[in-house]
Structure 1
């Protein structure tokens, strides 16, 4: 299933001119649109994770694409006056990237990928990029009672809303980006799409035995004398 989906994904990859930013097109029927959402910026992390199951040549290909796409996503942020990304970008010949929908609602996808790439490569560049994004949130989105999105990343006008995923995902991935690899190690845990860590177990795993031990079935027996329920 993974290999089939990767064939489809690779068919959507294009590169801009003149700077050759790799990006993922949107497909509608048989037509492709040169547009990429910040939402799609989870893909670099996904590709980096998936590359670890390939042989050296294929792994290098997918990891290299992951790094290219991560640079594009980081550039979404760097391309605006506030250094925060718009919701989506268009790519046109000779223009590289232009902001389409210009709001920012504190999305986590780019920093999610930076976290995975840092953990899998050890390249501190991804920490530097993450720090720059965090600083942009601090400068433009921080208010006395929390953080808010922007109505327009070009003007910095605030929207007076803090999305729940900013705490559950964006800040969590930024925290993990600067944590030791021993904090929720990726060979023991997997994150779902909302950044909740789930322990990896299998039938022969001691972790599973421990979990099953914590959830033994309780047998209730009613006393003939008192009519009360008791358990073991």
Structure 2
């Protein structure tokens, strides 16, 4: 007989800080009671993620694995991997929460994080990560997602709601906006997805000289 032993570890990876934004965005699909519950959870998690930044001398968060000790406040974790590589997840969640609630606090938090990037990561030729958020020692690399995601979400955090409205656009996991197309719009533009596929097949058949399709 085999035995499985599960260990519950009170830790949170900073990469999980996309979750507050996910919960905030998803809360709009529920009734008022459930919606408030999910939005409240999103706000509490966002506070935890922001506190990751505030807990370090540079006010930039370490890369991963924050442990929560019994009896300690949830926003006072100990850092295990203090390397910051300019990741976007917390900024992403602040953007969604700002759009969903209109609470300027999330803009203030985003501005504080941006100021920490300016103070600790900016160089003459770009922005670099930190090997240690406690000492401020820099590495020599700017990750591509800093431009594609982190700065994009910071820009949107301070933009009017009409700029890439969440009623018309959805972001994929790499922060690329994709226009929301309703079924009615699909039908008007060519019979929906199946109609578009058939049209593509007919067009390709003509190009390669096939008939009978």
Normalising TM by the smaller chain, what interval?
0.7 to 0.9
Is the partner of 2:83 in helix, strand or coil?
coil
Match of 2:28 in 1: 52
Structure-2 separation of matches of 1:52 and 1:189 = 15
Within the alignment, does 1:79 sit opposite 2:55 as a pair?
A: yes
Within the alignment, does 1:142 sit opposite 2:122 as a pair?
A: yes
Aligned 1:70-219 pairs, distance under 5 A? 70-88=46-64, 89-95=66-72, 96-205=76-185, 209=189, 219=206
Which structure 1 residue ranges, 4+ long, deviate > 6 Å from structure 2? none
When structure 1 is superposed on structure 2, of 67-76 and 196-205 the one drifting more is: 196-205
TM-score (ref. length: structure 2): 0.84
Asked if the contact 1:149/1:158 (under 8 Å) is kept, the reply is yes
Following TM superposition, by how much is the alpha carbon of 1:31 offset from its aligned partner in structure 2, in angstroms? Answer: 2.4
Is the partner of 1:42 in helix, strand or coil?
helix
Structure-2 separation of matches of 1:194 and 1:208 = 30
Structure-1 separation of matches of 2:5 and 2:106 = 35
Match of 1:42 in 2: 18
Query: What are structure 1's unaligned runs of at least 5 residues?
Result: 1-27, 223-232
Following TM superposition, by how much is the alpha carbon of 1:32 offset from its aligned partner in structure 2, in angstroms? Answer: 1.9
Structure-1 separation of matches of 2:188 and 2:156 = 25
Tell me the matched-pair count.
195
Q: CA RMSD in A?
A: 2.4
- Describe the shift of the 1:178–1:102 C-alpha distance in structure 2 as closer, same or farther (beyond 3 A): same
Asked if the contact 1:77/1:84 (under 8 Å) is kept, the reply is yes
Which of 1 and 2 has higher RCO (CA within 8 Å, sep 6+)?
Answer: 2
Match of 1:8 in 2: none
Structure-2 separation of matches of 1:29 and 1:68 = 30
Structure-2 separation of matches of 1:29 and 1:119 = 42
